[in-house]
Amino acid sequence: MSQPDPQSPPLSTSESASTTPAPLASQGAQASAVQVDSVTRVFGRGASQVVALDDVSLTVAPGEFVSLIGPSGCGKSTLLRLVADLDQPTSGTVEVFGRPARQARLSREYGIAFQQAGLLPWRTVRANVELPLALSGTGRGARRERVDHLLDLVGLADFADSFPDQLSGGMQQRVAIARSLAEEPSLLLMDEPFGALDEMTREHLQTQLLRICAETRAAVVFVTHSIPEAVFLSDTVVVMSPRPGRIREIVPVGLDRAGIAPATAVSTAAEDAVGDDLRTADAFVDAVARVRTALHGDLASAGRPGGAPGESRTARPAGVDQR
């Protein structure tokens, strides 16, 4: 595997994945969900200058689920923040549904969920989820209806009047996801939303997120440190190299997630069972191996194909959870 040729056209995550949405060419005039072109982000100046991203290009198709994975400090969050218009590139462009990121943010194309749920402790679950709708002037009746639907979607209908500190970490994170979906975004940006949760809760929420995505058909850009999480969730895993962050490889996943689609779902327990089956499927194990191999290019790129003397070939890139 090698660093993508800088002369080649921008890497499109929709080019090679068998289960990703149709390539843009077959979507008529529909714009990409995300189009990142030759983006560089440099922080600071002089001796303290940090090149966080170097000439990164990436396309995410509408409805596609893309994970960003790579060693700690490789620029995953920086890239996500640029897409979210929380930061600006030093050079290059970021477009969301064919418009500059700024415009997309102002017209509320995004839903955003980060590692900390970030709920307002003095507001009930309902009041937290409806906050974006209240801010954008949605009427009371429409707000109520939408929040009821969202709380149903994340399985928290019975907790609408609870306060965040009365909920578990996983439940709080589900509230945050419901809030991020409030304005029916066509793009969800998620930075390690399950990073602080125990393994069982995490796997359960991963399955729930897949179901929610199947229902809302939102495109997702998802930052994670976990290879299995990236593979389980994604149509495509984007593997980044250590700083300066570049895209090292794009790994299509190709899992059959039909059992988690809304049309066939019977209960959360049944969905969790489908999730368990997926995690032991050959296609899952194969994709985990391919992502792991792509990440281990870190050793080769450092001129250490077999690792330094005494270093295991299975040395781990810092900050990537291989479980």
Contact residues for ligand ATP (CB under 6 A)?
A: 43-44, 50, 52, 70, 72-78, 243, 319
Rounded to a whole number of angstroms, the minimum distance from the CB of residue 91 to ligand ATP is 16
Q: Would you state the structure tokens that stand for residue 203, as one six-digit string? A: 């796997």
Rounded to a whole number of angstroms, the minimum distance from the CB of residue 45 to ligand ATP is 11
DSSP state of 8: S
Rounded to a whole number of angstroms, the minimum distance from the CB of residue 247 to ligand ATP is 13
81, 240, 273, 299, 301 from 2: Cα distances, Å: 26, 11, 37, 12, 9
- Cβ-based nearer residue to ligand ATP, 75 or 297: 75
* In 11-73, alpha helices (H): none
Q: Do the beta carbons of residue 64 and residue 14 sit within 8 Å? A: yes
Rounded to a whole number of angstroms, the minimum distance from the CB of residue 266 to ligand ATP is 37
- Cβ-based nearer residue to ligand ATP, 76 or 211: 76
Q: How many helices (H) and strands (E) does the chain have?
A: 9, 10
Q: Do the beta carbons of residue 17 and residue 254 sit within 8 Å? A: yes
- Cβ-based nearer residue to ligand ATP, 231 or 255: 231
What whole-number distance in Å separates Cα of residue 116 and Cα of residue 13? Answer: 28
Rounded to a whole number of angstroms, the minimum distance from the CB of residue 69 to ligand ATP is 9
For residue 69, give the H/E element and its range.
strand 65-69
Rounded to a whole number of angstroms, the minimum distance from the CB of residue 320 to ligand ATP is 8
What whole-number distance in Å separates Cα of residue 319 and Cα of residue 166? Answer: 32
- Cβ-based nearer residue to ligand ATP, 204 or 225: 225
Residue for token pair 């009365």: 166
- Cβ-based nearer residue to ligand ATP, 72 or 166: 72
Cα 11–Cα 322–Cα 172 angle in degrees, nearest 5: 90
